[in-house]
Structure 1
Amino acid sequence: MASIPPEKGIIMKAVVYQGPRDVQIIDVPDARIERPTDVLVRITTTNICGSDLHMYEGRTDFETGRWFGHENMGQVIEVGDGVDKVQVGDWVVLPFNVACGHCKNCERGLTNYCLTAQPNPAWAGAAYGFADMGPWAGGQAELLRVPWGDFNCLRLGEDAEQKQTDYVMLADIFPTGYHATELAHVKPGDQTVVYGAGPVGAMAAYSAIIKGASKVMVVDRHPDRLRLIEEIGAIPIDDSKVDPVEAVTEMTMGLGADNGCECVGYQAHDPGGQEDPTLTLNRLVKSVRFTGEIGVVGVYVPQDPGATNDLAKQGKVAFDFGEFWFRGQKLGSGQCPVKKYNRALRDLVAGGKATPSWIVSHELGLDEAPDAYEHFDNRDEGWTKVVLHPDAATAAA
């Protein structure tokens, strides 16, 4: 077994969930090699994700005492005896999907629905530090154990340390935004509408532009997010000022967009602050043309005890299926199989063709995570994407 001994001994710091809207930096047992195929990574960069907020707000059954973190990168410090490819010293970024690489779904490229990493036989799919996605510890900590390391680690080039805020986006939001455009079949010349200008929606818009969409419209109401969207060449639509369906229709000669991406999920709110899990779905149906296609990557859950109505508490939504059927539209949904895209997106970053770090608003040390969660959850002005550096030296650089 090759290794660089962890510096912290038997404990490490992690962002630990203590209850709704309460996270604390707590010393927890060090991550360690447990199986021959494991890789141990010293985390240098980890993101706070919008999906973390569902758990932070108490809208899932995430257990008290677990720690967050599914968008992770860092440097390998130890490998198990069964690891062949990954070496100590490698810089790696980890897909948020924990996947075995050899089950039926993984063999089909559906690492988002791994049957091995998910211990509940009635479910599929696993992730680091995520509710109902297996027992895997998160990476908002100083160390991370990566199972099936040869399969799950994406190795990075010589520029990894300098481009950490770009490469860490390969763990989730860049591939997830790209996946939305794949589900919607965005093609060169298309007119595409994206609902949600949070980090994933921003990456969906960015991906559509990279793919050559002729017009990308993004619906949101947060001024700081809409300003960022405009900077990359997309068209911002403020749904607190205009009807977004009418705006998209007017911009597409009355036809509607060729395709659309849903990047908000079950906690969508109208401009008045009323929660409505059907809001973006039904608006997309009316914003996309007859026979158009829709990709849904915003999170929807099988049950939501904190929902405002009985239907939503059961994970059900009043979807305008009649309108959807009448228009002959197609809809794709689900979590992103990150490994399907991360190699190609890595090479776009390495070649200077993509710089997803434009979404980053804050780089902070791990100790600042509790305040960062509060600001991000409040959607405070300017808090668009938070990157945490457990390595203090990196945070100060």
Structure 2
Amino acid sequence: MAAPAATMKAVVYDKPFEVAIRQVEKPQILHPDDIIVKVTTTCICGSDLHMYEGRTAAQPGIIFGHENMGIVDRVGSGVTLLKVGDRVVMPFNVACGRCLNCEEGKSAFCTHVNPGFAGGYVAMGPYPGGQAEYVRVPFADFNALILPPGTEHEEDFALLADIFPTGWHGVELSGFRPGESVVVFGAGPVGLMAAYSAVLRGASDVYVVDRVVERLNKAKDIGCIPIDFSKADAVDQILKLRGGKEVDRGVDAVGYQATSGDGKTEQPNAVLEALIRVVRPTGGLGIPGLYVPSDPGAPDSAAAKGYISFPFGKLFEKGLTLGTGQCNVKTYNRYLRDLIISGRAKPSFVVSHNLPLSEAPSAYHKFDKRIDGYTKVLLHP
């Protein structure tokens, strides 16, 4: 009789607005290129809330968690660059490192992992997430980024899995050049990272649009100009501050769950329309905010199928460029790691809570409701 499989604790999706800590099977080496990582820090992402709220096709039983770091516990026979005991952080989008897109630096669009691109997220690959005690990392030599040993910069390095590179990517997608002005819609973790990246890259002015006071205060703390869109139209406020002059670049860090000024009425095209209004002719828009091909909770039948109307004629008339898509984390993460090590960057200013894994169900509820200033939650198994 075979011995029972070893188990571990993990955050499992039960149904909309409900996750639980469950005993699940501990991951095993399934391919020579795999490693098993003992998770030290895993983050709750705003994208996780889309699944948590039932706004995706996520099925009960999925293990959440696509922002993971930890210590290498086991290595497959084909792994050559990593060893047991290495401290590593993984990109949220798993990639093979060998296909055409990976070879061209577009690891977010790995065709080998297709139809998905990540672990622990619906429709993004067959890999269980890392909000657990252990996680399996495929194609490990390519995906795992080695970090200095010890525990220094743990909060900062954890953000290399997703939000720091994604914020940087949003600015990159916009075509930004040093000295230009930028507006970022959304001051959640990714939006704050986009604003922070623009500051690090030499923006002249950075405007950050949101309606949550704690978020706007964080934006102000890093030298940005907060714009509260619950008080008046955001574009009008920015144009008034600038004497009618538009900004050079715009970043959408909100995505398909954008709202009107009351914060309650969903308007999926709200940010896209605002960006087209506020960015100067021949400027650029970066869209790292999540848009999905189907949305079970959409406010109308078109948005439910991923169709969103926006003034394309005005986009064309102004000659605006538009860049979209998931972040190619591998393009940026080693350089952002080195900015952290050198002391030039400290993205962990967005972290609001460090909690044990056992508190994940409560943390999801509070993060979803923005209770007690929950902005970015790090879980520690």
Task: Provide TM-score, normalisation by structure 2.
Answer: 0.97
Unaligned runs of 5+ in 1: 1-7, 391-397
When structure 1 is superposed on structure 2, of 314-323 and 215-224 the one drifting more is 314-323
Residue 305 of structure 1: CA displacement? 1.9
Identity across matched positions, percent:
52
Alignment of 1:106-185 (within 5 A): 106-118=102-114, 123=115, 125-158=116-149, 160-185=150-175
The corresponding residue for 1:4 is none
Residue 279 (structure 1) aligned with residue 275 (structure 2): no
Aligned residue number for residue 79 of structure 2: 83
Partner of 1:18: 14
Residue in structure 2 matched with residue 340 of structure 1 by the alignment: 331
Determine helix, strand or coil for the equivalent of 2:244.
coil
Give the CA deviation at 1:271.
2.2
* Alpha carbons 1:12, 1:141 under 8 Å: kept: yes
Please state whether the residue corresponding to 1:67 is helix, strand or coil: coil
* Partner residue, 1:49: 45
Give the partner amino acid of 1:58.
Answer: G
Preserved CA contact (<8 Å) 1:191 1:252 = no
* Aligned equivalents of 1:255, 1:180: Cα separation in 2: 22
Partner of 1:34: 30
Residue aligned with 1:15, SS: strand
SS in 1 for 2:286: strand
Equivalent residue, structure 2, for 1:58: 54
Shift of 1:281: 0.8
Query: What is the CA distance between 1:322 and its match in structure 2?
Result: 1.2
Q: Are 2:90 and 1:94 aligned?
A: yes
Letter in 1 for 2:183: V
Aligned residues: 377
**Paired AA for residue 235 in structure 2:** V
The 1-side partners of 2:7 and 2:297 are apart by 34
Any runs of at least 4 consecutive aligned residues in structure 1 with deviations exceeding 4 A, and if so which? none
Deviation (angstroms), 1:269: 1.2
Give 1:374's aligned residue: 365
The CA distance in 2 between the partners of 1:288 and 1:253, in whole Å, is 14
In structure 2, what residue type is equivalent to 1:90? D
> What is the match of residue 354 of structure 2?
363
1:230 aligned residue: 220
Which one-letter code corresponds to 1:245 in the other structure? V
Quick one: which of 275, 289, 303 aligns to 1:312?
Answer: 303
Shift of 1:369: 0.3
SS across alignment from 2:362: helix
Aligned with 1:255: secondary structure? coil
Shift of 1:381: 4.1
How do 1:240-251 residues align onto structure 2 when only pairs under 5 Å count? 240-251=230-241
Give the TM-score of the pair, scaled to structure 1: 0.93
1:259 touches 1:288 (CA, 8 Å); kept in 2? yes
Aligned to 2:252: 262
Unaligned runs of 5+ residues in structure 2 are: none
Aligned twin of 1:393: none
Given candidates 331, 338, 341, the residue that maps to 1:350 is: 341
